[in-house]
Amino acid sequence: MKNKLLLGVLAILVIIQFIRQNDNNGEAMGSQDFTHHLQVPENVLSVLKTSCFDCHSNHTEYPWYAKVNPVGFWINHHVEEGKGELNFSDFSSYSLKKIDHKLEEIGEEVEGHGMPISSYTLMHKEAELTAEQIKLIVDWAKSERQRLAVSK
Protein backbone atom coordinates (compact mmCIF):
# COMPACT_ATOMS: atom_id res chain seq x y z
CA MET A 1 0.00 0.00 0.00
CA LYS A 2 2.81 2.41 0.93
CA ASN A 3 4.63 1.64 -2.30
CA LYS A 4 1.52 2.34 -4.40
CA LEU A 5 0.94 5.62 -2.60
CA LEU A 6 4.58 6.63 -3.03
CA LEU A 7 4.45 5.65 -6.70
CA GLY A 8 1.25 7.68 -7.16
CA VAL A 9 2.77 10.78 -5.56
CA LEU A 10 5.91 10.38 -7.66
CA ALA A 11 3.81 10.02 -10.83
CA ILE A 12 1.89 13.20 -9.99
CA LEU A 13 5.13 15.09 -9.36
CA VAL A 14 6.51 13.94 -12.71
CA ILE A 15 3.30 14.78 -14.59
CA ILE A 16 3.04 18.31 -13.17
CA GLN A 17 6.49 19.08 -14.55
CA PHE A 18 4.87 19.21 -17.98
CA ILE A 19 2.42 21.92 -16.92
CA ARG A 20 3.93 25.24 -17.97
CA GLN A 21 2.68 28.61 -16.86
CA ASN A 22 3.17 31.94 -18.55
CA ASP A 23 6.30 33.58 -17.24
CA ASN A 24 6.21 37.22 -16.20
CA ASN A 25 8.72 38.30 -18.85
CA GLY A 26 7.42 41.60 -20.16
CA GLU A 27 9.17 44.95 -19.86
CA ALA A 28 9.76 46.18 -16.32
CA MET A 29 10.44 49.71 -17.51
CA GLY A 30 8.40 51.01 -20.43
CA SER A 31 6.14 53.83 -21.52
CA GLN A 32 3.63 53.11 -18.73
CA ASP A 33 5.97 52.69 -15.76
CA PHE A 34 6.09 54.73 -12.57
CA THR A 35 9.10 56.85 -13.60
CA HIS A 36 6.79 58.69 -16.02
CA HIS A 37 4.57 59.77 -13.12
CA LEU A 38 6.97 60.18 -10.22
CA GLN A 39 10.39 61.69 -9.62
CA VAL A 40 12.55 58.66 -8.92
CA PRO A 41 16.20 59.27 -8.04
CA GLU A 42 18.64 56.66 -9.35
CA ASN A 43 19.47 55.36 -5.85
CA VAL A 44 15.76 54.77 -5.12
CA LEU A 45 15.25 53.11 -8.50
CA SER A 46 18.20 50.81 -7.87
CA VAL A 47 16.78 49.64 -4.52
CA LEU A 48 13.31 49.14 -5.99
CA LYS A 49 14.70 47.13 -8.92
CA THR A 50 16.69 44.87 -6.60
CA SER A 51 14.09 44.38 -3.88
CA CYS A 52 10.67 44.89 -5.48
CA PHE A 53 10.55 44.43 -9.24
CA ASP A 54 10.52 40.60 -9.35
CA CYS A 55 7.02 40.61 -7.82
CA HIS A 56 5.82 44.14 -8.55
CA SER A 57 6.61 44.69 -12.24
CA ASN A 58 5.96 43.05 -15.59
CA HIS A 59 9.36 41.33 -15.53
CA THR A 60 10.56 38.67 -13.12
CA GLU A 61 14.08 37.25 -12.99
CA TYR A 62 13.19 33.64 -12.21
CA PRO A 63 15.59 31.43 -10.25
CA TRP A 64 16.30 27.94 -11.59
CA TYR A 65 13.96 26.29 -9.10
CA ALA A 66 10.97 28.22 -10.49
CA LYS A 67 10.93 25.68 -13.32
CA VAL A 68 10.28 22.85 -10.85
CA ASN A 69 6.60 22.39 -10.02
CA PRO A 70 4.87 22.76 -7.58
CA VAL A 71 7.42 25.43 -6.55
CA GLY A 72 6.86 27.21 -9.87
CA PHE A 73 3.11 27.36 -9.22
CA TRP A 74 3.75 28.95 -5.82
CA ILE A 75 6.21 31.52 -7.20
CA ASN A 76 3.90 32.52 -10.06
CA HIS A 77 1.04 32.87 -7.59
CA HIS A 78 3.17 35.24 -5.47
CA VAL A 79 4.12 37.28 -8.55
CA GLU A 80 0.49 37.58 -9.65
CA GLU A 81 -0.56 38.64 -6.14
CA GLY A 82 2.27 41.16 -5.99
CA LYS A 83 1.40 42.69 -9.35
CA GLY A 84 -2.24 42.81 -8.28
CA GLU A 85 -1.31 44.94 -5.28
CA LEU A 86 1.26 47.17 -6.99
CA ASN A 87 2.71 47.09 -10.48
CA PHE A 88 5.53 49.56 -11.10
CA SER A 89 5.30 48.78 -14.83
CA ASP A 90 1.66 49.83 -15.23
CA PHE A 91 1.40 53.05 -13.25
CA SER A 92 -0.35 54.87 -16.08
CA SER A 93 -3.53 52.97 -15.25
CA TYR A 94 -3.53 54.42 -11.71
CA SER A 95 -5.45 57.56 -10.81
CA LEU A 96 -3.60 60.30 -8.93
CA LYS A 97 -5.43 59.31 -5.76
CA LYS A 98 -4.43 55.66 -6.23
CA ILE A 99 -0.79 56.67 -6.81
CA ASP A 100 -0.89 58.62 -3.55
CA HIS A 101 -2.33 55.59 -1.75
CA LYS A 102 0.26 53.25 -3.28
CA LEU A 103 3.06 55.57 -2.16
CA GLU A 104 1.58 55.55 1.34
CA GLU A 105 1.46 51.74 1.30
CA ILE A 106 5.03 51.49 0.00
CA GLY A 107 6.25 53.58 2.93
CA GLU A 108 4.20 51.63 5.47
CA GLU A 109 5.13 48.18 4.15
CA VAL A 110 8.83 48.94 3.89
CA GLU A 111 9.01 50.74 7.23
CA GLY A 112 7.07 47.93 8.93
CA HIS A 113 9.37 45.30 7.36
CA GLY A 114 6.39 43.76 5.54
CA MET A 115 8.17 44.08 2.20
CA PRO A 116 10.05 42.47 0.70
CA ILE A 117 8.49 39.32 2.15
CA SER A 118 10.73 36.97 4.10
CA SER A 119 10.13 34.01 1.78
CA TYR A 120 11.66 36.13 -1.00
CA THR A 121 14.63 37.49 0.94
CA LEU A 122 15.40 33.99 2.23
CA MET A 123 16.49 33.04 -1.30
CA HIS A 124 17.46 36.54 -2.49
CA LYS A 125 19.76 37.98 0.17
CA GLU A 126 20.56 40.97 -2.05
CA ALA A 127 16.91 42.04 -1.74
CA GLU A 128 17.09 42.47 2.05
CA LEU A 129 16.80 46.15 2.89
CA THR A 130 19.28 47.85 5.17
CA ALA A 131 18.12 50.49 7.64
CA GLU A 132 19.55 53.12 5.28
CA GLN A 133 17.62 51.72 2.30
CA ILE A 134 14.41 51.57 4.33
CA LYS A 135 14.82 55.22 5.27
CA LEU A 136 15.59 56.10 1.64
CA ILE A 137 12.41 54.44 0.33
CA VAL A 138 10.19 55.77 3.13
CA ASP A 139 11.51 59.32 2.73
CA TRP A 140 11.11 59.13 -1.06
CA ALA A 141 7.52 57.89 -0.80
CA LYS A 142 6.66 60.66 1.68
CA SER A 143 8.27 63.37 -0.43
CA GLU A 144 6.48 62.19 -3.58
CA ARG A 145 3.15 62.21 -1.74
CA GLN A 146 3.83 65.79 -0.63
CA ARG A 147 4.88 66.79 -4.14
CA LEU A 148 1.72 65.31 -5.64
CA ALA A 149 -0.40 66.97 -2.91
CA VAL A 150 -3.51 64.90 -3.50
CA SER A 151 -6.47 66.32 -1.61
CA LYS A 152 -8.27 63.81 0.57
pLDDT digits (tens, 9 = 90+) for 94-140: 999 999 999 999 999 999 999 999 989 988 999 999 999 999 999 99
Range of the domain at 37: 23-148
Q: Which residues are bridge partners to 18 per DSSP?
A: none
Domain membership of residue 68 (yes or no) is yes
Domain count, the chain: 1
The whole-angstrom separation of Cα 139 and Cα 152 is 20
Residue 67: per-residue pLDDT: 80
Query: Residue 77: inside a domain, yes or no?
Result: yes
Backbone torsions φ then ψ of 144, nearest 5 degrees = -70, -35
pTM: 0.83
Asked if the structure places residue 3 within a domain, the reply is no
pLDDT mean over 17-22: 71
Is residue 81 in some structural domain?
A: yes
* CA distances in angstroms from 25 to 59, 77, 112, listed in the order given: 5, 15, 29
Q: Is the peptide bond before 41 cis (omega within 30 degrees of 0)?
A: no
Is the distance from CB of 106 to CB of 51 less than 8 angstroms? no
- Averaged over 83-91, what is the pLDDT? 92
Asked if residue 139 is part of any domain, the answer here is yes
Whether the link from the prior residue into 70 is cis, omega within 30° of 0, is yes
98 lies in a domain? yes
83 band by pLDDT with thresholds 50, 70 and 90: very high
Examine residue 17 and state whether it is found in any structural domain, yes or no.
no
How far is Cα 150 from Cα 152, in angstroms, rounded to an integer?
6
Q: Does residue 59 sit in helix, strand or coil?
A: strand
